[in-house]
Amino acid sequence: MEYLFNRGCEILIGGYRFNYGDLTMNVHVDFDDNNEPNESTVELYNLSKHTLANIRTGMRVIVNAGYGKDLGTVLQGNIVEVRTKREQMDRVTTIQVKDDLTVSLYEMAHTYRPGTKASEIIHDLLSRAQIPHGAVQLGSNHAYMKGFVAKGDPVASIRRAARDCNTEVFTRQGKLYFKPLAGAGLEVTGIVRLSADSGLIDSPQSYEEDKVKGVRVTSLLNYRLHADAQLRLVSEDFDGVYRVKRGKHTISMDQFVTEVDLVRI
């Protein structure tokens, strides 16, 4: 398949750009739809001492991957740890990247008047703290008849207001995303089709975890597959629309795949 011969990956760190094929790299990106930021690993081989000296904790990392000119972001976050060690003749630098938010305000205190709706509060807090975010979709729009007090971490206040609207909040690639529970108020758009003709590898397998049944699939690396993405799965045993609950991207000289756990919508 043409996919196997047009792999592309670029890792951007500060002013540096590391390209797939120019050096040995291993990237392991974990993602899920829970509240906690994910931590991923980037390994780069045989960097110069000058380059190593300029890669530090706190720096922004972006990993774009795909095929040919069709590259998309699979990881965006901040460096939380850098370590280098010798492995035989190679010098391997391991970079831990946390998919966390960059906000301008970490502590605040503000009281909203009685009758204020959750959507107003959430939009105001996002603006005040300059929090990058996706579309604000809520399962409902709760009105606080006794008012609402936002104190401390603005993200925690946003999560509290969203929870009152039957909506979960999670972080993906440095942005805050909103997911109505049980499909309440959820618009199903931008569905990715996955079949043997579009990258599906092997046969999808059923799984059950915490009384939740789903399907586990592996495909050629696909940056469009991320937490909460909608997917139309077409295979011999499964045919339907699913949501990505969790998964991982793996990029190396040997592997260029995306593995995801799906739940039926």
What does the DSSP assignment read for 39-105? EEEEEEES--HHHHHT--TT-EEEEEEEETTEEEEEEEEEEEEEEEEEETTEEEEEEEEE-----S-
Q: What phi, psi does 48 have (nearest 5°)?
A: -70, 160
Q: What is the pLDDT of residues 115-126, one digit of tens each?
A: 999 999 999 999
- Contact indicator for 121, 112 with CB cutoff of 8 Å: yes
Q: What is the mean pLDDT of the chain?
A: 90
Q: Work out the pLDDT band at 185, boundaries 50, 70, 90.
A: very low
C-alpha 224/C-alpha 198 separation (Å) is: 12
Res 213 pLDDT > 60: yes
Of 87-91, 93-97, 186-190, minimum mean pLDDT range: 186-190
CB-based contact 133:159 (threshold 8 Å):
no
Helix axes 118-128, 154-163, angle to 10 degrees: 160
Q: What is the pLDDT of residue 94?
A: 98
How far apart, in whole angstroms, are the C-alpha atoms of residue 241 and residue 194? 10
Bigger pLDDT: 183 vs 117 = 117
Strands 230-234 vs 192-194: parallel, antiparallel or unpaired: parallel
Q: Is the pLDDT of residue 2 over 60?
A: no
Q: Is residue 35 scored above 80 in pLDDT?
A: no
Global confidence as pTM: 0.82
Percent of the chain with pLDDT over 70: 95
Q: H-type helices in 65-137, by residue range?
A: 118-128
Q: What is the pLDDT of residue 184?
A: 46
